[in-house]
Chains A and B, each alone.
Chain A
């Protein structure tokens, strides 16, 4: 296609307008991602000989990664964490909250504020707050409640670590889900519901035949955002359990951190980061392509 002078000028103008966004994107996102790919093919480390003289090792880090049971464990833990907290927990509870808030009932604004409150606390602070509630011993909040009820206390974070981490992340993410899904619900025209009611549709039919189909783009956009952002959750899990006990909550982000900054193997950690990036990319593309959502 041959562009005329006007179109060329227009393209240049558009590019100029995009530059303020493209330059930071290139410097802060694309360059680090490409550097991570390069780093993953070296034995770069934070200490030892490899820190002073890193060398190119080709795909050795990837071969090692795929033969590391702890890496596969972290992928499995991440899968459970994402499905449990983002897809089931946050979505279901966020959707229920969004639907409930549409109804003008007494106390709904207080309910909405309460749901949003967890987002006000930084994730590490939230993590430590939950430790104080879930820890074992006589002094933890939940233990005190158990003891008051005549029950023995439970060290929740050691006994049910992945479930607890999933629950806390669900608690933190309901607000975001609720806001997004409320916006989606608001976009459904009320006339459609009125017409359905006149045709004799019951609430269940209206939900399944009107709300869900019309909400699909919003739901899958939310799924895309929450899946990718949950894969990268680090601070809260690290604050809560540091990936323990015994790697049972070592999600991929914590695994990458542990390899890079506690075992000090930057190259190997970068290989894990590249794989995590690819997983996120594949998931994102799958969501967008299969549902034809315009992002």
Chain B
């Protein structure tokens, strides 16, 4: 009888071992089908190169829900081994929370990293001077406008010279076409987008273009912040931007996926991904001949200047508490491969960080992205600091109050300051 039981146990053990081809399993968090499709070939390469099983776990979308689940799991100590971080504003806080493993030494010793554009490397460095993420793709953002609509109405498509010019252009669009003239993402429903895809476009060209001082403290009482909120207020008060959809649960859907393709919205901030994912070949509602029909303006400065906003695009990071630290770090390097950069670019539309892609015919075939990649080195970005995700939430709350016409620009600035002060404490803010 004992032999029978022992034999059974051995059979079960053998069958369990046979069920997994490799001894280790790397758990990778991803969200959105496009992201999963883009990463799947890389997962196969990791399995082959490192002899591990890669389990892709689909997390909830959109970004806000993804971050909620990811942070909850990391806080509980059962997070995935490898994951991407949708917003650069979250990186410094995740570092401060102790969730991310440092990878600076590994990146420095990894030859392909030398080909990465400087702006990507700079963006990857955290306030403590260490690098915790693989900056494999960039979000290069500008203002995208319906060239066909403006041409038809006889409105200039030249680069606006400053904010006043941009506002005047939006008013002209409204008067001559009836379409909303300009959209800057705003409000709490958009999550990090209110900051990354809205506020940041304006603050970098304002009179106080950085929110973090040399001492690492936030300076949110600057005139630039006030002026940015005043710009929002002007757009809202003059009915130049669609407000009601921004207050709904998925605020990007109606303006970006419906109004812009229909020509009911003439200009919006967006990243290179809009040419592929939002309105291009990966879109459910594509705009035919999108690169000709939709033009781009750099973000004009408040008085003068042109700015192209650069940010980390869903940078990869390793869980500091993973049991597979060495393997996860090696897998992280694989996420920075040229192959993964191009596969991600072709699916989602972000810009590869490595200049090596320029020599690759697969990237050259992505004609929408080639000129943007070449210009990536001139990108401007906001200095990061611990607490930036709180600032991002504060901007969302402040712009929400503007959308609801509950306050003016000074009130919105105060909402931002109060939120940051109440959350981070007096010591975090000047």
Contacts and interface: CB of A to CB of B under 8 A. Distances in A.
Interface of A: 43, 45-49, 51-52, 64, 137, 155, 157-158, 240-242, 244-247, 258, 261-265, 268
B91 to A, nearest CB: 10
Contacts, number: 77
A47 B400 contact: no
15 contacts: A47-B94, A47-B96, A48-B386, A48-B389, A48-B390, A51-B96, A52-B97, A158-B244, A158-B248, A241-B249, A244-B249, A247-B400, A258-B188, A262-B191, A263-B423
Interface stretch (B39-47, B64-72, B111-119, B345-353): B64-72
Counting chain B CB atoms within 10 Å of each CB, which of A51, A155, A258, A264 scores highest? A264
Contacts of A258: 188
B71 A48 contact: no
B249 A47 contact: no
Interface residues of B, number: 33
A241 B189 CA distance: 10
Interface of B: 64, 68, 71-72, 75, 90, 93-94, 96-99, 187-189, 191, 244, 247-249, 258, 386-387, 389-390, 393, 400, 403-404, 422-425
A41 B176 CA distance: 56
Contacts of A48: 93, 96-97, 386-387, 389-390, 424
A173 B94 CA distance: 42
A46 B72 CA distance: 7
A52 B96 contact: yes
A293 to B, nearest CB: 39
B96 A49 contact: yes
Given A46-B72, A47-B90, A48-B96, A244 B386 contact: no
A129 B317 CA distance: 37
B75 A51 contact: yes
A158 B72 CA distance: 31
> Which residue of B244, B386, B387, B423 has the most chain A CB atoms within 10 A of its CB atom?
B423
Contacts of B404: 246
Given A246-B403, A264-B71, 17 more contacts: A45-B97, A46-B97, A47-B96, A47-B389, A48-B97, A48-B389, A48-B424, A49-B97, A49-B387, A51-B93, A51-B98, A64-B422, A157-B248, A241-B248, A246-B404, A263-B393, A268-B423
Contacts of B423: 45, 263, 265, 268
Given A64-B422, A241-B249, A265-B423, A46 B386 contact: no
B189 A242 contact: yes
A264 B389 contact: yes
A33 to B, nearest CB: 20
Contacts of A242: 189, 249
A192 B179 CA distance: 70
